[in-house]
Chain A
Amino acid sequence: MFDLRDIGVLYRRELRCALRERTIIVNSIVLQIVLYPALLWLIYSGISFVQGQTEGFTSRVALAGLPEEHRFLREELEKDERLALTSSSDPESDLRAGSLDLLAEFEPAPGAPAEAGNFKVRLAYDESRDRSRLALERMTEIVARYRDRFVLQAGERLGLEARQLQPIRVAMRNTASGRQMGEFILGRMLPVFLIIMLAVGCMYPAIDSTAGEREKSTWETTMTFAVPRANIVAAKYLYVSTMAACAGILNLAAMLLTVKSVLAPILGEQVGRLTFAIPLAAVPLIVLMDILLAMFVAAGMMLLASFARNFREGQSMVSPFYVAVFLPVIFLQAPGMELTPVTAALPVVNVALIFRDAISGVYRWPLIGLALAVEAASVALLILLAAAVLRHEDFVIGSCGGSLGRFLKQRIIGAGARREKAA
């Protein structure tokens, strides 16, 4: 049925045409290599700039009821250039109006205090304002520092040492190496971009090779080739899958090469200590998953777009699938999301999770096997559906109006019901 020579000739023609189309070049190649790393760098630089601007704000703080015994706290607050102590007759209203960032209300501490003037402080702030949240952070930090010092001094007066005052100490140490941290960050970022960019790179070729041919009136020309129709479809599918897989790999390479520069604005000096690299052993698996994902996305998009009579219709028919493909990406960021038998059975999600594991050098082979089987089965199912659609000649000649949903309802489900009724 399939003739590799014919498929090769058709595939080269599709590819040659595609590489001369500016929109395809931009969407499937340029965007992947240049735009997204550059765009991310701009976004992170912007975030970093905004954070810097926020850091520069002076926090306006009002104090109420600070005990005289703790005047050193007031002095400390006054000395801190990041704070401006103000007085307010109606602090609640000022907080709401944004003219005050924080109100610190001091009350006597409940119970029998060992030291005179012990207090409880209630910090009122506006969570919906960055500036107010920043004031809270600063105030909490200063009060905590003051409290530690105060407790130590009080202990000394009572003849107690620091270790007696704090019998349990918590010390934190990050055991992850720079390489492990790099792998962790890559594992969070790259699968997400792979999926999004692969879908972006696939969309235009998928529409162009189906609805685009109808719009340009070349569909009937293609139908007159002296080759089996299956070869024509196979060549188109191969071409769209190639473009999608290349888009994914190109983006991956570009992100890998630029990740340090992209993250530098938000990680600062810390970025120098991180190593961003994918283990060489993971590359074949990542490429395989990229190809499988490309085949899945290409099959889905081509199937939907082939019902369209022009490019615009194609875009609207493919868009829901496009959204469905990158919807799982949102969940990938959830803590605890990992490859399990359930997630391995979910197309797209499984690819992203295997990819994430592979970056960290983790290979759960039985689950990888399950995921490969699921992806292959999904691709096969879509191809079978495409074959069922192609059996209808009004679809082949492009006179079939509607969408995949309508087609299934009328021709597959409806035909079954009609046969039952006739029987």
Chain B
Amino acid sequence: MNEPVVVQGLTKYFYDESRGEVRAVQEVDFACRAGEIFGLLGANGAGKTTTLRMLATILAPTAGTASLLGHDVVREPEEARRHLGFYSSSTALYPRLTARETIEFFARINRYPAAQIAQRVGELIERFGIASYADVRVDRLSTGMKQKVSIARTVAHDPPVLIFDEPTVGLDVLNALELQERIREFRAQGKTIVFSTHIMSEAEKLCDRIAIIHGGRILACDTLDGLRRATGMRYLEDIFVCCVKGRE
């Protein structure tokens, strides 16, 4: 398989004091192609974040495998992370660094070639329209400004794979639309994008293929047209409900 992201039988069980064993993710399989936005669509608690955290090597799978550009997330976690940019609402920026320092630091720590870091930082500042506040500390920036810096730091080391875990949570409409536009740009650059959301319209507009995840399992995975054909439904909301009800 030549796909940049390959997930096979990925499973994660947790032990929770009050709930006992929690099967957060069960035998999830998917693969993502270069230049594709792959959507994980599911309600809250469906297993999206756990799946993406395993892919980002933050969590170790209980069973199954996942690889990023051929690097196994368990055996070669550092190599896997080197080829990955991870963005989520829970990955905040360091408040006491400036925007410029933040981008530079992420490029450096993720091993972007040292000689090209200054140029890369300048490019990103220009491309994301950060120049006017590049030397302002992050804790003094507005939410929209922080979001731009966050995206810039995610791609600072120019990773071929990007994970966006519910990236628009907490953003206003304009900022959410801008973020979607950026994600499309990354696709145009040939990057592989794994995108999780619980917002149907977002998945509908943005994703080339959508995996519907519920109860830790993938119930369906196809293009929007493919899902429509398989379920006979037009709208993603109906498709989602059909899949979930069919499962239950």
Chain A contact residues, CB within 8 Å of chain B = 6, 9-10, 13, 16-17, 20-21, 216-218, 220-221, 223-228, 393-394, 396-397
Contacts of A217 in B (CB 8 A): 90-92
Decide: A10 and B78 in contact? CB cutoff 8 A.
no
Known contacts A17-B94, A17-B97; is-contact A227 B59 (Cβ 8 Å): no
Decide: A17 and B91 in contact? CB cutoff 8 A.
no
Contacts of A13 in B (CB 8 A): 94, 97, 105, 109
Decide: B96 and A16 in contact? CB cutoff 8 A.
yes
How many angstroms from the CA of A20 to the CA of B136 in the assembled complex? 13
Decide: B59 and A20 in contact? CB cutoff 8 A.
no
Contacts of A9 in B (CB 8 A): 105, 108-109
Decide: B109 and A227 in contact? CB cutoff 8 A.
yes
Min Cβ gap B198→A in Å is 19
* CB-based nearest A residue for B137: A20
**11 pairs, A vs B, C-beta closer than 8 Å:** A16-B96, A17-B94, A217-B90, A218-B91, A221-B93, A224-B58, A224-B81, A225-B110, A226-B78, A226-B81, A393-B60
Decide: A397 and B59 in contact? CB cutoff 8 A.
yes
How many angstroms from the CA of A397 to the CA of B60 in the assembled complex? 11
How many angstroms from the CA of A20 to the CA of B94 in the assembled complex? 12
Decide: B59 and A393 in contact? CB cutoff 8 A.
yes
Decide: A221 and B81 in contact? CB cutoff 8 A.
no
Decide: A17 and B96 in contact? CB cutoff 8 A.
yes
* CB-based nearest B residue for A13: B105
Count of residues in B whose CB is under 8 Å from the partner chain: 29
Decide: B86 and A224 in contact? CB cutoff 8 A.
yes
How many angstroms from the CA of A225 to the CA of B108 in the assembled complex? 10
**Contacts A220-B58, A221-B94 supplied; 20 other A-B pairs, CB < 8 Å:** A9-B105, A13-B94, A13-B97, A13-B105, A13-B109, A16-B101, A17-B96, A216-B95, A220-B90, A220-B91, A221-B93, A224-B56, A224-B58, A224-B86, A226-B109, A226-B157, A227-B109, A228-B78, A394-B14, A397-B58
Contacts of B79 in A (CB 8 A): 226
Q: What 9 pairs between A and B have smallest CB-CB spacing?
A: A217-B92, A226-B82, A226-B81, A17-B96, A221-B91, A20-B96, A224-B86, A226-B110, A225-B109
Q: Which of B86-137 contact A (CB under 8 A)?
A: 86, 88, 90-97, 101, 105, 108-111, 137
Q: Which of B133-166 contact A (CB under 8 A)?
A: 137, 157
> Does B184 lie at the interface of the complex (its beta carbon under 8 Å from any beta carbon of A)?
no
Known contacts A20-B137, A226-B82; is-contact A221 B92 (Cβ 8 Å): yes
How many angstroms from the CA of A216 to the CA of B94 in the assembled complex? 8
Q: Which of A13, A21, A221 has the most CB of B within 10 A?
A: A221
> Does B53 lie at the interface of the complex (its beta carbon under 8 Å from any beta carbon of A)?
yes
* CB-based nearest A residue for B108: A9
Contacts of B14 in A (CB 8 A): 394
Contacts of B137 in A (CB 8 A): 20
How many angstroms from the CA of A120 to the CA of B81 in the assembled complex? 91
How many angstroms from the CA of A10 to the CA of B111 in the assembled complex? 12
Contacts of B101 in A (CB 8 A): 16
How many angstroms from the CA of A216 to the CA of B79 in the assembled complex? 27
* CB-based nearest A residue for B159: A226
Decide: A224 and B78 in contact? CB cutoff 8 A.
no
Decide: B96 and A225 in contact? CB cutoff 8 A.
no
Contacts of A393 in B (CB 8 A): 59-60
Min Cβ gap B193→A in Å is 16
Q: Which of B101, B109, B137 has the most CB of A within 10 A?
A: B109
Min Cβ gap B57→A in Å is 8
Contacts of A17 in B (CB 8 A): 94, 96-97
Decide: A224 and B91 in contact? CB cutoff 8 A.
yes
Q: Which of B1-49 contact A (CB under 8 A)?
A: 14
* CB-based nearest A residue for B79: A226
Q: Which of A216, A220, A226 has the most CB of B within 10 A?
A: A226
How many angstroms from the CA of A9 to the CA of B109 in the assembled complex? 7
Min Cβ gap A258→B in Å is 31
Min Cβ gap A288→B in Å is 31
Min Cβ gap B49→A in Å is 10
Contacts of B95 in A (CB 8 A): 216, 218
How many angstroms from the CA of A217 to the CA of B93 in the assembled complex? 8
Contacts of B78 in A (CB 8 A): 226-228
How many angstroms from the CA of A225 to the CA of B79 in the assembled complex? 10
Decide: A216 and B97 in contact? CB cutoff 8 A.
no
Contacts of B84 in A (CB 8 A): 224, 226
Min Cβ gap A398→B in Å is 9
How many angstroms from the CA of A221 to the CA of B14 in the assembled complex? 22
* CB-based nearest A residue for B114: A5
* CB-based nearest B residue for A232: B109
Contacts of B90 in A (CB 8 A): 217, 220
Contacts of B111 in A (CB 8 A): 226
Contacts of B86 in A (CB 8 A): 224
How many angstroms from the CA of A282 to the CA of B158 in the assembled complex? 52
Contacts of A224 in B (CB 8 A): 56, 58, 81, 84, 86, 91
* CB-based nearest A residue for B89: A217
How many angstroms from the CA of A263 to the CA of B95 in the assembled complex? 43
How many angstroms from the CA of A272 to the CA of B78 in the assembled complex? 63
* CB-based nearest A residue for B105: A13
Known contacts A9-B108, A217-B91, A225-B110; is-contact A16 B81 (Cβ 8 Å): no
Contact of A16 among B88, B92, B97, B157 (CB under 8 A): B97
